[in-house]
Amino acid sequence: MLYDVHRGKSHHRHLRGKEASYKFADEDKLLDDFLRDVARIVEGKL
């Protein structure tokens, strides 16, 4: 899993070989979303 942004693309997330857009709000929300996704992966829900 990877969240990123780079020239020519908006904020997005990579997960299991797929890319999806991500609406960046601030660093705290980004960290919360990342940790939530990690927990969901560990639980087998994502």
- pLDDT at residue 24, rounded to an integer: 96
- Helix ranges (H only) for the chain are 27-42
- pLDDT at residue 34, rounded to an integer: 97
Residue 6 belongs to domain spanning: 2-42
- pLDDT at residue 5, rounded to an integer: 94
> In degrees rounded to 5, what are phi and psi of residue 21?
-65, 155
CA dist 14 and 12 (Å) reads 7
- pLDDT at residue 42, rounded to an integer: 97
Specify the number of domains making up the chain.
1
**Beta-carbon count within 10 A of 23 CB:** 9
pLDDT tens for the chain, residues 1 to 46: 999 999 999 999 999 999 999 999 999 999 999 999 999 999 999 9
Q: Does the reported pTM lie above 0.85?
A: no
